[in-house]
Chains A and B, each alone.
Chain A
Amino acid sequence: MIKEEALKELEAIVGQEHVYTDPAFLATYSRDISITYERWPDAVVRPRFTVEIQKIMRWANKWKVPIYVTSGRGFEGYGGPVSPFGGLILDLARMNTIHEINDKLYYVVVEPGVTYRQLVRELEKNYPHLMLDVIGGSPESSVLGNTISRGVGHTWWPYCEHFECLCGMEVVLPTGEVVRTGSGQLPGSKSWHIFKWGFGPWIDGIFSQSNFGVVTKIGLWVAPRPKAYDWVAIAAPKPENAGDILEFTGKVILHNIIGGGVTISNAVASFACNFTYPWEINGGTAPLPREWIEEMKEKHHIGEYTLFGPIYADSEEALQAKWKTLKEILKQYPELYLMDRADALNCAEIAHRVLYDQLGRPHRSLWGWAHWRGGGLSFYSPIAPFTKEAGLELQEIGVKTTAKYGFDYMMKYVAGLRAIHHVGLLTYKVPDELDRARRCFLELIKNYMDAGYYPYRVNPFAQDYLLSRIDRGYLLVCQKIKKALDPNNILMPGYYVPE
């Protein structure tokens, strides 16, 4: 519990109307759709300015109140604004200023509360020649939040790897000081958001997926809108093709044929974008019968895996040249085939990728996954190489582990430049299946880690589990940094760095 006197001081910092302690307000911060345990914070504060955050940090040190940070609400498959330790939630949704859109040098400077929807609207309205790489989650997600969580999007390299495009941060340290990274450290520098490295040690990385500071501003490079665009949908018909599709994807990405934001979904994940779990045919049990999956694949003309990728180029000629190379590479995999475009667009997921994501427009249709069984969705996301072996192994582990707990194996791959993010979708009915989902989730993480596939990002629910595997030397460095920057351990204790 936070003392009354402390709350009065907090109200003096941001104004009484931005400090919430009544359960009627706290209720919205008590749960998310993931496997996170329900937990109520003691209070929520919604500051507007960096200087207020500085004061809040000093306040937290004085009163020894732990702080959990969130930037509004987005897609919560990796966990939402639910503090695992109670304390104070620092909700940065009100910090929603777009400080700069540089349409000559193609970057934006945003605060944590700026959402994909907000930024895309601004770009579409006033800077149509710029394009933001958007995520497949929710338009309400924070651009800054996704970037520092190292999220990925759906256009092309390097823009689809969001942290790669981050250039210059403003961070409030847990003790209240402000640090500007990269060229921002150099007084009067004209290169803060165009030259990442600045001078001396490059420290931006330590503020991503960490609890070393509250990031209050970032520069982010945005893409020029491509002159030519097309899309491709390729099906891998059988489970045995799990390796082929992955290897093929690696080749077309490495040769810059398809944009790095390519997505591959398995059949059940695709169904979940079009309709909901067929309780009636399966008596409420899972996994779904193989015959039913085959029947639906045939009915909807989709493969066991379906790749949908953007092709961008500077001209129509260059686009056609890419198509030619793509078809040549495809010949090496006789079982993979180009999908009929009309069939492909009947698949809601593909339609939304090609009509929205790949054109830099966020959408929300993928919330369908959360409704597949009844309100619950958690992502488990091991990283893997673009190899046949990995494709088959990832599938085998996923199918076996989910089936053991009575769930279906649902996943999508999102590509990086040298590795693939296997975004597993654990969907469940809440509250009935939640405990079972938690156990399944942990075993999925374990089994993938045992096979050498570690998650690129993980729900706070499972972080201890993951951190128990991490190399001691690495953890020691992290813990020393944490102790130096946050001596009272007030900022997100245990988040990505064990106490």
Chain B
Amino acid sequence: MVKYPNLEKVATWRSKGDIFYLCTICRYCISETYEYLDGEDKSAGYQNLCPTFDLWEHEAYSSLGRISIARALYEGKMELTDKALELIYACSLCGACREECFARRRTKYYEIHEAKPSPFDPMEILLALRRDAVELGKGPLPVQQGWMKQIVEKNNPYYEAHEARLDWLKPEIREKLPKEAEVVYFVGCTSAYRQKNIANATVNILEKTGVNYTIMDPEEWCCGSPAYMTGRMDVFKRQLEHNIEAVKKYKAKRVVTSCAGCYRMWKKEYPETLGVKLPFEVLHTVELLQELVKNGKIRLENKVEKTVTYHDPCHIGRHLRDGGELYKPLFEPPREVLQAIPGITLKEMPRKLWYSFCCSSGGGFRSAFPRESIEIASRRVKEALDQKVDALVSTCPFCYRNFKDAIEEKKFNIELYDVVELVEKAMA
């Protein structure tokens, strides 16, 4: 019988392999509940929380389907077929299922009736399944293996030259980047190679506010999030070790990133994987912006007359649940910054905060399922449009990119911004 060592690690609660049976196929992982909505029909038409179920409308494309596969594999009742492989990668690992999972909620109370971390975590089961698929030589999917090779060879998944990583940066700024600074701005691959607007806006703000910052040129590598999410832990660890050493070299006290995926890696996975506290603070740009607005270093004086809605990226939202003192979801900072901009009116979408509907670019999903990914992003854009807003705003270049493609492809009449762009517009 084929062994699944990573599943083995997460499979046991009270007896061997029993964790899978805690899934009672209740479908909480798929759709919202009346309990969540307080009985009010706030989200008619947006009931599903699981983006892939929303698209394919089959339970096999939801957490309960993937847990069924995990159980059957673990118990030797099926083989890891190509279709099974496809299904376990047909997920953006957004974590909405974990928020609603009833087994997870209830198992918090299995010991002395006090809340403790639940032994049941659908995301961890899926991650274990992906790691096993990799170790068996089957995962990730071919297209993901393609960019994985790029991460190893060129330090980014975009098939771009490492030397071109900071091409977006004005030469006069690049030339004077110090080799030691209080803050390292970790740009991230997507901002560096694709959503350069976000990187530029961030640097412009850092320049204007006089923050003592630098960018690791040429030491910045991919944070490893794509490898982590698709089960290539060897690649992830390589990236992690390199990046931490690089920051240490710059003697930075803070690492600031404008990417939600990078932030999760730096804030949560790096220290958890190493089992140590990092010797520097990790911030997302929205946290820095919040701080700079509060201490008056950013003065938001230009009116930006727009009604906007905010999309919570999964990686800085619900992925940061249960972090205690180490990390917490960034729900407040982007909203506080947006509301500090004169002229901005913020209207929320029905699916927000813990229950945000994923743009579906993460978890390796966009590269493996490009058409489906754009379709899901389109559904989120439609949700934004239904709120009758001028613009959709987020704080993640990966979300931005998927929304941008959806807006262009479907010709939606809506503007798209990262929070840093609006702040830059509003700055005196």
Q: Check B72 for interface membership: any CB of A closer than 8 A.
A: yes
B300 to nearest A CB, angstroms? 40
Q: Which of A27, A31, A125 contacts B78 (CB 8 A)?
A: A27
On whether the beta carbons of B113 and A275 are closer than 8 Å, the reply is yes
Query: Residues 411-451 of chain A: 1 if any B CB is under 8 Å from the residue's CB, otherwise 0?
Result: 00000000000000000011110000000000000000000
A441 to nearest B CB, angstroms? 17
Q: Which residue of A lies closest to B113 (CB)?
A: A275
A138 and B83 in contact, given A28-B64, A279-B110, A429-B18 (Cβ under 8 angstroms): no
Residues of B contacting A23 in the complex (Cβ-Cβ under 8 angstroms): 72, 77-79, 81, 84
Query: Residues 1-45 of chain B: 1 if any A CB is under 8 Å from the residue's CB, otherwise 0?
Result: 000000000000111011001111111100101110001010010
On whether the beta carbons of B71 and A117 are closer than 8 Å, the reply is no
On whether the beta carbons of B34 and A22 are closer than 8 Å, the reply is no
Assembly CA distance A138 to B102 (angstroms): 12
Q: Check A30 for interface membership: any CB of B closer than 8 A.
A: yes
Q: Is the interface of A mostly helix, strand, loop or mixed?
A: loop
Q: Check A371 for interface membership: any CB of B closer than 8 A.
A: yes
B138 to nearest A CB, angstroms? 13
**Interface stretch among A153-161, A362-370, A452-460, A468-476?**
A362-370
Chain A: residues with Cβ within 8 Å of the partner, total of 49
Q: Check B412 for interface membership: any CB of A closer than 8 A.
A: no
On whether the beta carbons of A27 and B65 are closer than 8 Å, the reply is yes
Which residues of B57-95 are within 8 A (CB) of A? 57-60, 64-65, 68-69, 71-72, 77-79, 81, 83-84, 86-87
B77 to nearest A CB, angstroms? 7
Q: Check B238 for interface membership: any CB of A closer than 8 A.
A: no
B136 to nearest A CB, angstroms? 15
On whether the beta carbons of B26 and A375 are closer than 8 Å, the reply is no
A375 and B84 in contact, given A24-B60, A356-B34 (Cβ under 8 angstroms): no
Assembly CA distance A432 to B16 (angstroms): 9
Residues of B contacting A138 in the complex (Cβ-Cβ under 8 angstroms): 26-27
Assembly CA distance A117 to B68 (angstroms): 24
A367 and B24 in contact, given A117-B31, A276-B106 (Cβ under 8 angstroms): yes
On whether the beta carbons of B22 and A367 are closer than 8 Å, the reply is no
Assembly CA distance A117 to B44 (angstroms): 11
A27 and B41 in contact, given A138-B27, A364-B102, A375-B22 (Cβ under 8 angstroms): no
Residues of B contacting A367 in the complex (Cβ-Cβ under 8 angstroms): 24, 26, 28, 102
B168 to nearest A CB, angstroms? 42
On whether the beta carbons of B35 and A73 are closer than 8 Å, the reply is no
Q: Check A317 for interface membership: any CB of B closer than 8 A.
A: no
Q: Check B47 for interface membership: any CB of A closer than 8 A.
A: yes
A364 and B35 in contact, given A25-B60, A28-B64, A432-B15 (Cβ under 8 angstroms): yes
Q: Check A355 for interface membership: any CB of B closer than 8 A.
A: yes
Residues of A contacting B112 in the complex (Cβ-Cβ under 8 angstroms): 278, 280
Residues of B contacting A28 in the complex (Cβ-Cβ under 8 angstroms): 25, 59-60, 64-65, 68
On whether the beta carbons of B81 and A371 are closer than 8 Å, the reply is no
Q: Check A111 for interface membership: any CB of B closer than 8 A.
A: no
Which residues of A373-388 are within 8 A (CB) of B? 374-377
Q: Check B126 for interface membership: any CB of A closer than 8 A.
A: no
B10 to nearest A CB, angstroms? 16
Assembly CA distance A367 to B13 (angstroms): 19
Which residues of A331-372 are within 8 A (CB) of B? 355-356, 361-365, 367-368, 370-371
CB-based A-B contact count at 8 angstroms: 134
Residues of B contacting A46 in the complex (Cβ-Cβ under 8 angstroms): 58
On whether the beta carbons of A361 and B68 are closer than 8 Å, the reply is no
Assembly CA distance A383 to B67 (angstroms): 37
Residues of A contacting B59 in the complex (Cβ-Cβ under 8 angstroms): 28, 73
Assembly CA distance A408 to B109 (angstroms): 19
Residues of A contacting B102 in the complex (Cβ-Cβ under 8 angstroms): 364, 367-368, 371
Q: Which of A27, A279, A368 contacts B106 (CB 8 A)?
A: A368
Residues of B contacting A371 in the complex (Cβ-Cβ under 8 angstroms): 22, 24, 102-103, 106-107
Q: Check A133 for interface membership: any CB of B closer than 8 A.
A: no
B87 to nearest A CB, angstroms? 5
Q: Which of B13, B23, B34, B111 contacts A363 (CB 8 A)?
A: B34
Assembly CA distance A298 to B69 (angstroms): 44
Q: Which of A24, A364, A374 contacts B33 (CB 8 A)?
A: A364
Which residues of A36-89 are within 8 A (CB) of B? 40, 46, 73, 76, 80
A276 and B110 in contact, given A24-B84, A375-B23 (Cβ under 8 angstroms): yes
On whether the beta carbons of B25 and A121 are closer than 8 Å, the reply is no
Q: Check A140 for interface membership: any CB of B closer than 8 A.
A: yes
A25 and B83 in contact, given A73-B27, A278-B113 (Cβ under 8 angstroms): yes
On whether the beta carbons of B60 and A430 are closer than 8 Å, the reply is no
Closest 7 CB pairs of A and B: A24-B84, A430-B21, A23-B78, A371-B106, A27-B68, A22-B83, A375-B21
Beyond A27-B72, A73-B27, A364-B33, 17 extra complex contacts between A and B, CB < 8 Å: A23-B81, A24-B60, A24-B69, A27-B78, A28-B65, A30-B68, A121-B41, A121-B44, A356-B39, A362-B34, A363-B34, A364-B102, A367-B26, A367-B102, A371-B106, A374-B13, A432-B15
A-B contact pairs, 22 of them (CB 8 A): A22-B84, A24-B69, A25-B87, A27-B68, A27-B69, A27-B77, A73-B25, A121-B47, A125-B41, A140-B31, A280-B111, A356-B34, A364-B35, A365-B35, A371-B22, A374-B13, A374-B22, A375-B103, A430-B18, A431-B15, A431-B17, A432-B15
